[in-house]
C-alpha cells in the first residue's frame, strides 16, 4: 500500500531523515519507534505532504505522491492524526468532524461516516455542540482520530496518540486502533509507548538519528534485547 524508498529530509543544513526505506502492506498496523528526535514525526509529515523530501520516493497505492501537496494526498485516501491533536478551537466538535470531510461531496456517504464516528466515539456525539478546545485530552484525541476518519482514509497515520493521556484513555485508544484496522483501515503508528505499540503491530521499524537500525515483527522487536534495553526499560 505504501512504499518509501531512499527517503531523505533536511531542515536547512540539518539532515533529519537519512536514506530510509520501508513498506506498509494493506491491512497491517506498522509501528515506527525511536527516541525523541529520531525522525519519526518528520517521516509522517513528509508522507502527508506537509514538508518536502530532499531525495527518494513515496508511492501510495502504486502512485507516486512524493511531490503532491497535502490536500491531494488526502484525496488519494491517506490521512494523518497529528502529534498534539491540534483540534480547531473556536469550532464545535461537529464542525471539527465536518472539516475532516471537506473533500467529500456525497452527503449521504458523509452522513454515514459521521454515524460510524459517533458509534466508535459516543462521547463525541454527546459533546457535538461543545467547543472542541474545552474537551479533555483523551476526548480531543478521539476527536482528532474521528476527524481523520471522516475523510474515509485507506491509510491512517497516527502520531503519538497516547501522549499526555491518563492510563484508562491510553488503553481505550489502543483498543480503538485495533478496531479501526479490523474494519479495513491500514495504520502507520508512531508511539513513544513502545511496548503498547509493538504489542498491536504486525511489524515495526526502529529509528535512531534518522536511520532505520532494526526491523521485524512486533513480537520479534518486543523480544529483542536491544529494543528492551533502549525502549522497554529492560
CA distance 135 to 57: 39
Query: HSE of 188 in the Cβ direction (CA atoms, 13 Å)?
Result: 29
Domains held by the chain: number: 1
For residue 188, the enclosing domain spans 2-88+154-231
- CA–CA distances in Å: residue 176 to residues 29, 56, 67, 224: 12, 33, 32, 27
Q: Is residue 183 part of a domain?
A: yes
Quick one: pLDDT at residue 232? 74
Give the tens place of pLDDT for each residue, 55-104.
999 999 999 999 999 999 999 999 999 998 899 999 999 999 999 999 99
Quick one: pLDDT at residue 234? 54
Q: How many residues does the chain have?
A: 234
Residue 119 contacts by C-beta under 8 Å, 6 or more apart in sequence? none
Quick one: pLDDT at residue 150? 97
Give the tens place of pLDDT for each residue, 105-147.
899 999 999 999 999 999 999 999 999 999 999 999 999 999 9
Q: Is residue 177 part of a domain?
A: yes
User: The domain that contains 22 carries what CATH number?
Assistant: 3.40.50.300
Q: Is residue 132 part of a domain?
A: no
Amino acid at each position: 500500500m505504501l512504499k518509501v524508498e531512499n527517503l531523505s529530509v533536511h531542515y536547512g543544513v540539518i539532515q533529519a531523515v537519512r536514506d530510509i526505506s520501508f513498506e506498509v502492506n494493506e491491512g497491517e498496523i506498522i509501528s515506527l519507534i525511536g527516541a525523541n528526535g529520531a525522525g519519526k514525526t518528520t517521516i509522517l509529515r513528509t508522507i502527508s505532504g506537509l514538508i518536502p523530501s530532499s531525495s527518494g520516493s513515496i508511492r501510495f497505492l502504486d502512485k507516486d505522491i512524493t511531490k503532491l501537496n497535502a490536500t491531494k494526498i488526502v484525496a488519494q485516501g491517506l490521512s494523518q492524526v497529528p502529534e498534539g491533536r491540534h483540534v480547531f478551537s473556536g469550532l464545535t466538535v461537529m464542525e471539527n468532524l465536518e472539516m475532516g470531510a471537506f473533500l467529500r461531496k456525497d452527503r449521504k456517504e458523509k452522513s454515514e461516516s459521521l454515524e460510524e464516528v459517533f458509534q466508535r466515539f459516543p462521547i463525541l456525539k454527546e459533546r457535538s455542540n461543545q467547543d472542541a478546545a474545552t474537551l479533555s485530552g483523551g476526548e480531543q484525541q478521539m476527536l482528532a482520530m474521528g476527524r481523520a476518519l471522516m475523510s474515509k482514509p485507506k491509510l491512517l497515520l497516527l502520531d503519538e496518540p497516547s501522549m499526555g493521556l491518563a492510563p484508562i484513555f491510553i488503553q481505550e485508544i489502543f483498543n480503538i486502533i485495533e478496531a479501526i484496522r479490523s474494519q479495513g483501515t491500514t495504520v502507520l503508528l508512531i508511539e513513544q509507548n513502545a511496548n503498547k505499540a509493538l504489542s498491536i503491530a504486525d511489524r515495526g521499524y526502529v529509528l535512531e538519528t534518522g536511520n532505520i537500525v532494526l526491523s521485524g515483527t512486533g513480537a520479534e522487536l518486543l523480544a529483542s534485547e536491544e529494543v528492551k534495553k533502549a525502549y522497554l526499560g529492560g
